[in-house]
Structure 1
C-alpha cells in the first residue's frame, strides 16, 4: 500500500562497521562521524527502504495507462500516489543527504576517490539514484526514462542487504 512514512528519528545503536578485506586496510581513515552516519542510515534502511522500494515499483507500474502512456498523472489516483511516493523519497533524501555528505571520501595513490568505511559507497550511490528517481517522477518523465535509476537504486539497496551492512 502506498502511504506516507513517519519521520525517522535516529536513536542510539549498537551498530558497528565491518572491516573485511580490503577495508581492514583503511580502518584508520574511518572517523566517528562515518560510524554515526552509517549507523543512522542503517536505521532508516532497516525501517523504510524495503517499503520505499516496493512503493516506487508499484508507482512505476500504476502510472502506465491503458494507452501505454505514463506521463498523465491526472487519471485514476496517480497524482495522489505520485505525491505520496515522491514525498517519501524526498523525506528519505532529507534524512540521507547530511549523512551521506558526512562520509569520508579519501583518495588512493592513483587519485581515485573511495569511501574508507565498508559500503559507504553503496549508501552514496543509493542516495544518488533515489535523487534521480524523484526528479524523474516529479518531471513526469516516462517509465523508460526513470527505470534505469530505479534499477540502480535497487541494485545498491540490494547490495546493502545482501552484504548485511546494517545488521547489528
Structure 2
C-alpha cells in the first residue's frame, strides 16, 4: 500500500513562498494569477522612425496584441522576474544542487509561472511579427513589438532550463537577455497607459 508523505518543504523567493509536499509528483501550480487583459484607449507609438513609415502595415490585431502584451508587462513582468531572480540565487546558494531541500519544488513553481506567462504572450508575440516580401525577413511594424517577441522567447528558454534542472549559471544567460528586453520595453515608455 502506498503511503502519501505529508511533510512540507518551504522556500522563500523574492517574497514568493512556495510550500510543496516532499516527493511531489503533480506539476506545480503557478502562483501568479491568470492575467486577463481589459479594454483600453492605449494606442501604439507611431512617432519613432521607421515605425512612423510602417504605420500603414499595422493591423488592428497587432494593436490589440501589443496593448494586451503591454498590460501583462505592466501587471506581472516585475513580479515574474523577481521570482526568477530569487530562484536563481536560491539555486546558486545551494551550489546548484537540485536535490537540496526546497530547490526542485521552488523551481517547479517558477517554471509554472513562466509557462503561464509565456502561454499568454505566445499568440500576441507571434501576431506582432510580419513577413517582409520578397526577402522573407520577419520584423514588427510596431515600436518594440520585436522586443515583446524576444522577451516571450527568453521566458520559454528559462522555463525549459529550469525544467531540465540545469545549473544557475546556465539559466543566467536567458535571464540576463530577458532583463534586457524587459528593460528596453519599460524604458521606452511604449507600454505607458496600456
Tell me the TM-score normalized by structure 2: 0.80
TM-score (norm 1): 0.92
Which stretches in structure 2 are left out of the alignment for 5+ residues? 1-14, 18-30
Q: 1:78 aligns with which of 99, 103, 108?
A: 103
- Cα contact 1:2–1:85 (8 A) shared by 2: no
Alpha carbons 1:16, 1:35 under 8 Å: kept: yes
CA distance in 2, matches of 1:76, 1:104: 42
Deviation at 1:109, TM superposition (A): 6.5
- 8 Å Cα contact 2:154/2:174 also seen in 1: yes
Instruction: Describe how 1:5-44 pairs up with structure 2 within 5 A.
Output: 5-19=32-46, 20-44=48-72
Q: How does 1:1-168 map to 2 (within 5 A)?
A: 1-2=15-16, 4-19=31-46, 20-66=48-94, 69-70=95-96, 72-107=97-132, 111-168=136-193
Q: Which has the higher strand share?
A: 2
Q: What is the deviation of 1:146?
A: 1.4
Deviation at 1:111, TM superposition (A): 5.0
Is the Cα contact below 8 Å between 1:30 and 1:104 reproduced in 2? no
Find the structure with the greater CA-based Rg. 2
1:44-74 residue CA offsets vs partner (Å, 9 max, x unmatched): 11110011111101100101245xx31x323
Write out per-residue CA displacement over residues 92-150 of structure 1, whole angstroms, 9 at most, x where no aligned residue. 01101111122241327765321111100000000011111110011011122111111
- In 2: Cα distance, 1:15 partner to 1:84 partner: 32
Unaligned runs of 5+ residues in structure 1 are none
Distance 1:166 1:18 in 2: 9
Q: Aligned pair count?
A: 165
Q: Which has the higher contact order (CA 8 A, sep 6+)?
A: 1
Q: What is the CA–CA distance in structure 1 between the aligned matches of 2:16 and 2:158, rounded to whole Å?
A: 16
Aligned alpha-carbon RMSD (Å): 1.5
Question: Does structure 1 conserve the Cα–Cα contact (< 8 Å) formed by 2:108 and 2:162?
Answer: no
